Amino acid sequence: MDRLLSLEFSGGMEKILILGGTGKTGRRIVRRLKAAGQPVRTASRTSGDTPFDLDDPTTWARAIDGVAAVYVVEPNLRAGVDRQARMPRFMAEAVAAGVRRLVLLSAHGVGHADDSHPLKAAEQAVRGCGIDWTILRPDWFSQNFSESSWLPGILEGTLSLPTGDGRTPFVDAEDIAEVATASLTEDRHSGQIYQLTGPRAISFGEAADLISKATGRTIRHLDVAPEDFVERWVADGVPADVARLLTNLLVAVRDGRGSAVSDGVERALGRPARRFEDYVAETAAAGHWN
């Protein structure tokens, strides 16, 4: 049986730090850790137990004091950030403070991306940190349809995205959180890179149809030109470089470069990944699309 982290370090007094602890994956990890009786600390710029900003090293020491493991999230995808210095410096300071395990939320495709990808430096820093580490590379979150930028389109009845008929294996954020929780608390995940997807790839049109059936409302997917999509996001206040990055990721789905199904959830948890249909049924029943 895997030893729990709380049993490995000084009688279980050290905390597990969750960066972005109120975010889509972070709050789900916190819920699981607290249910298991693990001491947890959340940190972010605007909420959580401790103020924390990766752009402000003066906030780091307090956040990592007495911490044995950290769930790491890179919140800033904008160009111009010194990624070769910021994340490696944070990792080094965490290790010096006594952290013994890092779990990084990365993204699908980072392993094949060039060094310009905003998460590549974070992965390199984690792998070179000298302590236990795990990297999570999830595909598009199912919860983007109910908790993120795609929700307004679902509520309005038209989801406009530059994805065409491309298919992708949406992964449930609950699965990501469960894998992260296991990686933070169990030895056997050390040195693992988990590609996290759902059990099958579907198109955005299929996703809209499934949500339509579950809600009794008409919801359709409308394919849009990538350049129009970028312009719309920029007009809504999204930085141009971020808008282009996210648009390119969606265009990759359109081009058939995001349809591969991985077994990361099953390798980590010993069970199949959750189906998109199950996510839809549960979310509709909870009234999130009313």
Three-state secondary structure readout of the chain: CCCEHHHHCHHHCCEEEEECCCCCCHHHHHHHHHHCCCCEEEEECCCECEECCCCCHHHHHHHHCCEEEEEEECCCCCCCCCHHHHHHHHHHHHHHCCCCEEEEECCCCHHHCCCCCCCHHHHHHHHCCCCEEEEEEECCECCHHHHCCCHHHHHHCEEEECCCCCEECCECHHHHHHHHHHHHHEHHHCCEEEEECCCCCEEHHHHHHHHHHHHCCCCEEEECCHHHHHHHHHHCCCCHHHHHHHHHHHHHHHCCCCCCCCCHHHHHHCCCCCCHHHHHHHHHHCCCCC
Residues 49-96 pLDDT 10s: 999 998 899 999 999 999 999 999 987 666 556 666 788 899 999 999
Report the distance separating Cα 124 and Cα 102, nearest Å.
Answer: 12
Q: Count CB neighbours of 290 within 10 A.
A: 8
Residue 75 has a pLDDT of: 73
Residue 109 has a pLDDT of: 83
Task: Give helix 226-235 / helix 240-254 axis angle, nearest 10°.
Answer: 150
Find the angle CA(29)-CA(274)-CA(164) to the nearest 5 degrees: 105
Q: What is the pLDDT along the chain (290 residues), one digit of tens a residue?
A: 344 444 344 444 479 999 999 899 999 999 999 999 999 999 988 888 999 998 899 999 999 999 999 999 987 666 556 666 788 899 999 999 999 999 999 998 887 766 677 788 889 999 999 999 999 999 999 999 999 889 999 999 999 999 999 999 999 999 999 999 999 999 999 999 999 999 999 999 999 999 999 999 999 999 999 999 999 999 989 889 889 988 999 999 999 988 999 999 999 999 999 999 999 999 999 999 99
| Alpha-carbon dihedral angle through residues 76, 79, 81, 85, given to the nearest 10 degrees | 110
Residue 14 has a pLDDT of: 72
Residue 27 has a pLDDT of: 95
Assigned token pair, 192: 């693992």
Residue 83 has a pLDDT of: 60
Residue 44 has a pLDDT of: 87
Residue 9 has a pLDDT of: 44
Residues 19-55 pLDDT 10s: 999 899 999 999 999 999 999 999 988 888 999 998 8
| Nearest Cα to Cα of residue 122 among 202, 199, 19 | 19
